[in-house]
Amino acid sequence: MAERAILAYFNTPEQAEQALEKIKSLRLVDYAIDRFDGYAGTGIQQLDQLGNTIAGTFRGLGYLTLGGDFDNPDAAVLGAASVSASGMSSGGPDNRVTGRDILLTAIVEEADYEQAWQFAKEAGAL
Protein backbone atom coordinates (compact mmCIF):
# COMPACT_ATOMS: atom_id res chain seq x y z
CA MET A 1 0.00 0.00 0.00
CA ALA A 2 1.19 3.55 -0.70
CA GLU A 3 2.47 5.87 2.00
CA ARG A 4 2.28 9.64 2.45
CA ALA A 5 4.35 11.99 4.55
CA ILE A 6 3.07 14.74 6.82
CA LEU A 7 5.35 17.66 7.69
CA ALA A 8 3.64 19.63 10.44
CA TYR A 9 5.18 22.65 12.18
CA PHE A 10 4.34 23.47 15.82
CA ASN A 11 5.18 26.10 18.43
CA THR A 12 5.97 23.61 21.19
CA PRO A 13 7.14 19.99 21.44
CA GLU A 14 4.05 19.26 23.55
CA GLN A 15 1.77 20.17 20.63
CA ALA A 16 3.67 17.81 18.33
CA GLU A 17 3.53 15.00 20.90
CA GLN A 18 -0.21 15.53 21.36
CA ALA A 19 -0.75 15.19 17.60
CA LEU A 20 1.54 12.17 17.45
CA GLU A 21 -0.43 10.34 20.16
CA LYS A 22 -3.59 10.65 18.06
CA ILE A 23 -1.78 9.73 14.83
CA LYS A 24 -0.44 6.57 16.48
CA SER A 25 -4.01 5.26 16.49
CA LEU A 26 -3.77 5.14 12.67
CA ARG A 27 -1.45 3.08 10.49
CA LEU A 28 1.73 4.98 11.30
CA VAL A 29 4.84 3.75 9.48
CA ASP A 30 7.48 6.06 10.98
CA TYR A 31 7.77 9.42 12.73
CA ALA A 32 10.20 11.98 14.13
CA ILE A 33 9.90 15.17 16.18
CA ASP A 34 12.76 17.64 15.68
CA ARG A 35 13.61 21.19 16.70
CA PHE A 36 15.42 23.23 14.09
CA ASP A 37 16.86 26.70 13.76
CA GLY A 38 18.92 28.64 11.30
CA TYR A 39 22.25 28.29 13.09
CA ALA A 40 24.80 25.51 12.77
CA GLY A 41 26.27 23.69 15.75
CA THR A 42 25.53 23.47 19.43
CA GLY A 43 27.59 26.46 20.54
CA ILE A 44 28.25 27.03 24.20
CA GLN A 45 26.86 24.35 26.49
CA GLN A 46 28.24 25.39 29.88
CA LEU A 47 29.30 28.70 31.33
CA ASP A 48 32.68 27.34 32.44
CA GLN A 49 33.58 26.95 28.74
CA LEU A 50 32.84 30.59 28.03
CA GLY A 51 36.39 31.93 28.06
CA ASN A 52 37.38 35.51 28.65
CA THR A 53 34.80 37.77 27.08
CA ILE A 54 36.65 40.92 28.18
CA ALA A 55 39.83 39.85 26.38
CA GLY A 56 37.78 38.75 23.36
CA THR A 57 38.81 35.10 23.47
CA PHE A 58 35.44 33.75 22.39
CA ARG A 59 34.10 33.03 18.91
CA GLY A 60 31.55 35.81 18.69
CA LEU A 61 28.11 37.03 19.68
CA GLY A 62 26.29 34.34 17.70
CA TYR A 63 28.23 31.67 19.57
CA LEU A 64 27.42 33.18 22.96
CA THR A 65 23.75 34.00 22.51
CA LEU A 66 22.47 31.68 19.77
CA GLY A 67 24.54 28.58 20.40
CA GLY A 68 25.83 28.84 16.84
CA ASP A 69 29.03 27.22 15.67
CA PHE A 70 29.94 29.19 12.57
CA ASP A 71 32.77 28.01 10.32
CA ASN A 72 32.26 30.88 7.90
CA PRO A 73 32.98 34.40 9.23
CA ASP A 74 30.23 35.85 7.03
CA ALA A 75 27.64 33.48 8.54
CA ALA A 76 28.82 34.48 12.02
CA VAL A 77 28.25 38.16 11.22
CA LEU A 78 24.75 37.43 9.91
CA GLY A 79 24.00 35.36 13.02
CA ALA A 80 25.12 38.21 15.27
CA ALA A 81 22.82 40.58 13.37
CA SER A 82 19.78 38.47 14.37
CA VAL A 83 17.38 40.11 16.81
CA SER A 84 17.69 36.98 18.95
CA ALA A 85 21.46 37.49 19.30
CA SER A 86 21.17 41.11 20.35
CA GLY A 87 18.45 40.55 22.93
CA MET A 88 16.31 43.16 21.21
CA SER A 89 13.67 40.73 19.94
CA SER A 90 9.98 41.42 20.29
CA GLY A 91 9.40 38.95 23.12
CA GLY A 92 8.95 35.26 23.61
CA PRO A 93 10.58 32.89 26.07
CA ASP A 94 14.14 33.91 26.94
CA ASN A 95 13.60 36.99 24.74
CA ARG A 96 13.94 34.88 21.59
CA VAL A 97 11.99 35.34 18.39
CA THR A 98 8.95 33.11 18.61
CA GLY A 99 7.79 30.84 15.85
CA ARG A 100 7.12 27.31 14.72
CA ASP A 101 10.45 25.57 15.18
CA ILE A 102 9.16 22.08 16.02
CA LEU A 103 8.71 19.71 13.08
CA LEU A 104 6.64 16.54 13.28
CA THR A 105 7.37 14.25 10.36
CA ALA A 106 4.93 11.34 10.15
CA ILE A 107 4.65 8.71 7.44
CA VAL A 108 1.23 7.12 7.30
CA GLU A 109 -0.61 4.80 4.97
CA GLU A 110 -2.29 6.79 2.20
CA ALA A 111 -5.80 5.86 3.38
CA ASP A 112 -5.08 7.49 6.78
CA TYR A 113 -3.47 10.67 5.43
CA GLU A 114 -6.48 13.01 5.72
CA GLN A 115 -7.31 11.87 9.26
CA ALA A 116 -3.67 12.18 10.37
CA TRP A 117 -3.44 15.69 8.90
CA GLN A 118 -6.66 16.63 10.73
CA PHE A 119 -5.17 15.40 14.03
CA ALA A 120 -2.09 17.55 13.40
CA LYS A 121 -4.17 20.66 12.61
CA GLU A 122 -6.29 20.16 15.74
CA ALA A 123 -3.09 20.15 17.81
CA GLY A 124 -2.01 23.50 16.31
CA ALA A 125 0.00 22.52 13.25
CA LEU A 126 0.74 24.88 10.41
pTM for the predicted model, two decimal places: 0.64
Task: Mean pLDDT check: name the lowest of 39-48, 49-58, 94-103, 117-126.
Answer: 39-48
Residue 112: phi and psi, rounded to 5, are -100, 0
Taking only the tens place, the pLDDT of each residue in 22-81 is: 999 999 999 999 887 666 665 555 444 555 556 666 667 776 667 677 777 777 777 777
Residue 103, strand partner residues: 9, 34
Alpha-carbon distance of 57 to 87, in angstroms, equals 21
Sheet order of strands, 102-109 included: 3-10, 102-109, 28-35
